[in-house]
Structure 1
Amino acid sequence: MDTALVLEKSSEQSLEQAAPQLTSENSIDIQELSIVIVANELSAALLNPEFFVFSGIVPREWQLARNSVTSQQVTQLVFQNGISLLVEPGKISFSESINGKAQEDIAIARMAAKFVETMPKVDYQAIGINPKRIVTFQDQADGARKYLLETLLSPGEWQQFGREPMQASLNLSYLLDDCRFQLSIHPTQLRLSDDSQISGLLFSGNFHYELSVVEIDDRSKLIAQALSNWYGLLEAYRSLLKTKFQIIV
């Protein structure tokens, strides 16, 4: 979908004027950051839990939240501090819950940088720095759908078709100076501890750096540069949500 078709609406109905209430004192705000590195010949058989501890990527004092998963195809580590690590064929992912964390307390960028420093000769193909945020419409059961259909999309007869209300999600693409940014917006439902559900929107971002077109000896350096700017990218994502989508939780 062309981004301009979604974002360049008439002055008669700005996002700020039309948006349902995205904030309230009782809103649930869930934020996560992941870093995904794609490379040929990454193997869970070699990248096992012992490798991550002995190489210093994972501090020895970290405690697992549940038993590690290890096989020829997968290594998965989930820690009590909200950080997880997943190795699959050709890919390694670092994920962290970042709600309420200061910049210096977010660890996965340092972990990813240490991994690349430890494995400099790997045939790296791409790196993605991926912020996610779920924003809830606690007092509006159909708030997420209405926000998509009435605020991000122009109303029209095209929405009136079929036996049930139309469902929608958006995939947007922005070309930045040194990477491409993809933003997906999907409605979701969160189940609470009392078994009730609330409406929400998932904003999934992906700052994608393609490395396959770069000389192989330069790829580790480019990954290091991208990782050194992880917080700037996170702030750019947050600014986009705040200034263009009126997400101000």
Structure 2
Amino acid sequence: MSKNIKIQDVVFVVASDKLSPSVVNAEFLQLSGIIPQDFKLARQPVYTQQNAQLTFTDSSDNVISIVAETNRIIFMEAVGDRDISSLQIASIASKFVKALPNIEIEAVGINPRGYKEDPTGKYMESLLSPNAAWLSVGVEPMRASLNLVYKYERASMYLNISEAALRKEDETSTPIVMFNGSFSYELEGETKEEKQENLHKAIENWQTDVATYSELVNNKFLAQLPQEATVEVPSELQEESKDVFAMSV
């Protein structure tokens, strides 16, 4: 089995304080060329005063979700067994911004997310401090979440490592460790055009960010796991809380 993390999805978060969720609808997205014409709605869109949620599938059943809120729009594509380079989400995010040039963009986050099984449930304990007294307080094993910030020349990367559980079809669950990454780009520039240019540069370099995230997790964190404890989490694990979309800027 591979010791490397299996990336499950990549999320782009575009932050703006002047975004109307009502502008995000299937007709606009497809007529403007943001979403290809052959994409189909996977389910009925959800619209409220605060957000709009749309999920599309292409001819190969790849899933792309778009969530528009009053202060940001979120683009997410599930990876499955595909190569990262085949993802379309970066192109879709870039086309959306180009189609609405009057939106004031403040920042963009590029968030890769991946999972590994941790059958012993001891990964976080071993990562923090084995046998430390504060780990064994209470009637059940402690649950942990670790937030880290790495400063790279181009941007900061926020990495959250946390414990969770993978629920299986037989209703049993297996401990997993989650690695949620977020590269945060505050858009510099004196004019809207300069900020737009920097936005597109950040989006164009998304594969570099995903590679940096993968290298850090694989070489600095998962290298501590024994071979038998690293099992790729299947692609069925697609449901997530909104917290995973959080982008720190």
TM score, norm. by length of structure 1: 0.81
| In 2: Cα distance, 1:29 partner to 1:193 partner | 20
SS of the residue 1:244 aligns to: helix
Alignment of 1:221 onto 2:193: no
| In 1: Cα distance, 2:136 partner to 2:24 partner | 51
Q: Using the TM superposition, give the Cα deviation of residue 163 of structure 1 relative to its aligned residue in structure 2, in angstroms.
A: 3.5
> Where does 1:148-227 land on structure 2 (aligned, <5 Å)?
148-211=124-187, 214-217=189-192, 218-227=194-203
Q: Using the TM superposition, give the Cα deviation of residue 29 of structure 1 relative to its aligned residue in structure 2, in angstroms.
A: 4.7
Report if the CA contact (8 A) 2:5-2:217 is conserved: no
Q: Using the TM superposition, give the Cα deviation of residue 75 of structure 1 relative to its aligned residue in structure 2, in angstroms.
A: 1.6
Aligned to 2:77: 96
| In 2: Cα distance, 1:133 partner to 1:164 partner | 26
2:25 corresponds, among 35, 48, 53, to 48
Report if the CA contact (8 A) 1:28-1:136 is conserved: no
| In 1: Cα distance, 2:216 partner to 2:198 partner | 24
Aligned to 1:68: 45
Unaligned runs of at least 5 residues, structure 2: 224-229, 233-249
Aligned to 1:120: 101
Change (3 A) 1:24 1:106: closer
Aligned to 2:64: 83
Unaligned runs of at least 5 residues, structure 1: 1-22
Output the amino acid matched with 1:86: V
SS of the residue 1:79 aligns to: strand
Q: Using the TM superposition, give the Cα deviation of residue 71 of structure 1 relative to its aligned residue in structure 2, in angstroms.
A: 3.4
Runs of 4+ deviating beyond 4 Å: 27-30
| In 1: Cα distance, 2:2 partner to 2:210 partner | 23
Report if the CA contact (8 A) 1:131-1:206 is conserved: yes
Change (3 A) 1:162 1:194: closer
> How many residue pairs end up in the alignment?
220
Change (3 A) 1:110 1:167: same
- Deviation track 1:127-185 (CA, whole Å, cap 9, x = no partner) reads 00000011113xx2xx33x1111234354223233333322110000111021100001
Change (3 A) 1:104 1:178: closer
| In 2: Cα distance, 1:102 partner to 1:30 partner | 10
Report if the CA contact (8 A) 1:113-1:224 is conserved: yes
* Greater CA drift, 99-108 or 157-166: 157-166
Change (3 A) 1:189 1:177: same
Structure of higher CA gyration radius: 1
1:110 corresponds, among 87, 91, 107, to 91
Identity of aligned residues (%): 34
| In 2: Cα distance, 1:94 partner to 1:124 partner | 15
